[in-house]
Structure 1
Amino acid sequence: MFPYMRPFMKFPFDLSANKIKIIDVGARAVPEGFHYEALVDSNACVVTAVEPDAKANKWLTNRAIDKIHNVAIGDGGVHEMHVCQLASCSSMLAPNKACLEFYSGMEFFYRVEKINTIKTYGFDVVFSDAHFDYLDIDVQGYELEVLRSGGRNIKNLLGIHIEVSFVEKYLGQPLFRDVDVFLAERDFTFHCFTGYGTRSPRGVKVDGSSVNGINQWLWADAFYFHRLDDDEFWGVSNRLVKLACIFHCVYKSYDFAVHALKRCDQLGGSVYCHEYVRYLQEMGVDVEEGEDSEWIMEGMIKKLSLI
């Protein structure tokens, strides 16, 4: 069984005394729960939620959120909040009707029911002296404005989980390529996509449904981490252990968890990696330390040479 297909395995090291500090911007209720639910269940994190819609407070409180801020983060200006028929589609940006109408099962959800005027506050203004480890952000096309307003906070993050779009669902919305360049310029490395949304062209149904698609991705969640060759950044106590926990619990990226713990041992003289690899082996996950096996690659060359 591939590691990422395995059921959840508890992270073997206790972080209860030095928890991962999560900031969730756009923490509106979602039926499937938070993608970082495993960190919450493991008592490995404290969560600060930012959600301008106070109606979500009761749900957020029930989801073990430690602190809730009912503010809108952005460039500090006054903007129009477009409240859509599906509340989770509401955005500071106006829905792009032409784009939405091209795809099946889209435009209906983005119909604007009302427009509210709302004041935004910069990320670094709201959290002027906070120190977060992990940012989860989903603000329907407004993500880049939030990131731009948080230079101080962004540079301290170990990782960022962000919704990105491949089509302009909202007018003027930055796309994945724009977000990717912005984060790369700030020392973040792309790791993986997680959930994604597909649609077919309008007038086409898949499996009898207009909200199914085959290969056309419209949006996805992406995870980035601070580049691992930055010894000064990662030399700060426990950062690499926290990152390993995120890799393990949230993404099941056990190989990168091994690497993070190996770097931790190299920088601080700890022995996390050996213990972690032993734990993986006991759990039946075949991930371990080891140099490149040239005989495997030579075999691949021979096989490809026959094609």
Structure 2
Amino acid sequence: MASRDLFDLLSLDRPLQVADIGAADIGEAPIYKDMVDSGLAELNAFDADPRQHAALRQLYGERVRIFPQVVGDGGPATLYLAAPQSGMTSLFRPSADHLAFFNGFERLGQVEREQAVNTTRLDDIEGLPNLDFVKMDIQGGELAALRHGTAKLARCAMVQLEVSFVPLYEGQPCFGEVDVWMRGQGFIPHCFTGLKKWSIAPVLRDGDFRSPFNQLLEADIVYVRDPVRPGGLDPDLMKAVALLAHHGFYSIDLAGRMIALLAARGVLPTDAFERYLALVNAGA
């Protein structure tokens, strides 16, 4: 569980606001879980599939606010529902050609039913606070959600997105388009938390369709507000970067840079950077 030592060093007077858009629990612990469990952050979880809500409640209890809205551009759309365990329910129709290119995806991407829905712009969702960190995995819908959530994201410190190198859905924006948009909003890539390759049909490696050779499929990439020229960054945003970098990604160098800059500005005590390094060395 995350320690409060850095939280106290940064003199934060509120928990961070985290949003997970596409929060279905498919067996992977999200990077924010320890912070939520420790009271350092509050979770706003989005999942339009009601089949996923019970698992989220079981995992977080009263520490989560669940939003059932389908996040998008605010217009009508079709939701293509796949099996819950596949994680492939999307506002985009699966691409038969691209699914067939990869071993196993014709089955994983099979649509069980279609549902007409009205999407909601992120900026229009009542009860959603301004966000410090966003994790988004909505099977191709990430860019539309971002474009219609700029107000809620105006003070966002870091964003974790699933991006695709080869689209599995018709009309799905791929990594290059998402990356250009994020840079235009003042973010730069910080790290990949996962890079997924997949085997190309019909060749199998060791008889396992999940065992890849070299073909890139998708990745989870983390963007941070540009720390190269941080002069215009709000101190509270810089504090959020430091906390997320440390507890979310163990990016000690990024957290340390924010703390050193805050100390140089007089926002934190002059010895804050040295105290931070002491916490790191003590294993905090």
Query: In the aligned structure 2, how far is the partner of 1:42 from the partner of 1:77?
Result: 38
Q: What amino acid does structure 2 have at the position aligned with 1:255?
A: D
* Equivalent position SS for 1:192: strand
Residue correspondence of structure 1 range 1-307 to structure 2 within 5 A: 10=3, 12-14=5-7, 17-64=13-60, 65-85=63-83, 86-127=85-126, 130-228=129-227, 229-235=229-235, 238-271=236-269, 272-283=272-283
Does the 8 Å contact 2:160/2:223 carry over to 1?
Answer: yes
Moved more, 31-40 or 169-178: 31-40
TM-score norm. by structure 2 comes to: 0.90
What is the CA distance between 1:208 and its match in structure 2? Answer: 2.8
Deviations 1:254-281 (A, max 9, x none): 1111111112212234132111112223
TM-score norm. by structure 1 comes to: 0.84
Does the 8 Å contact 1:94/1:170 carry over to 2?
Answer: yes
Deviations 1:31-55 (A, max 9, x none): 1222322222332100011111122
Does the 8 Å contact 1:198/1:214 carry over to 2?
Answer: yes
Deviations 1:28-77 (A, max 9, x none): 11212223222223321000111111222221112224211111011111
Does the 8 Å contact 1:106/1:211 carry over to 2?
Answer: no
Does the 8 Å contact 1:11/1:248 carry over to 2?
Answer: no
Query: In the aligned structure 1, how far is the partner of 2:34 from the partner of 2:157?
Result: 17
* Equivalent position SS for 1:219: strand
What is the CA distance between 1:282 and its match in structure 2? Answer: 3.2
Q: What amino acid does structure 2 have at the position aligned with 1:33?
A: A
Query: Structure 1 vs Structure 2: percent identity of aligned residues?
Result: 26
Query: In the aligned structure 2, how far is the partner of 1:219 from the partner of 1:264?
Result: 36
Query: In the aligned structure 2, how far is the partner of 1:262 from the partner of 1:107?
Result: 51
State the structure with more CA Rg. 1
What is the CA distance between 1:87 and its match in structure 2? Answer: 4.6
Q: Any gaps of 5 or more consecutive residues in structure 1?
A: 1-7, 286-307
What is the CA distance between 1:128 and its match in structure 2? Answer: 7.8
Alpha carbon RMSD of aligned pairs, Å?
2.0
Query: In the aligned structure 2, how far is the partner of 1:253 from the partner of 1:280?
Result: 11
* Equivalent position SS for 1:31: coil
Q: What amino acid does structure 2 have at the position aligned with 1:14?
A: F
What is the CA distance between 1:216 and its match in structure 2? Answer: 1.9
Does the 8 Å contact 2:182/2:188 carry over to 1?
Answer: yes
* Equivalent position SS for 2:87: helix
Does the 8 Å contact 2:205/2:213 carry over to 1?
Answer: yes
* Equivalent position SS for 2:222: strand
Q: What amino acid does structure 2 have at the position aligned with 1:49?
A: A
Does the 8 Å contact 2:17/2:129 carry over to 1?
Answer: no
Query: In the aligned structure 2, how far is the partner of 1:62 from the partner of 1:204?
Result: 40
Deviations 1:147-172 (A, max 9, x none): 11112112221110110000011000
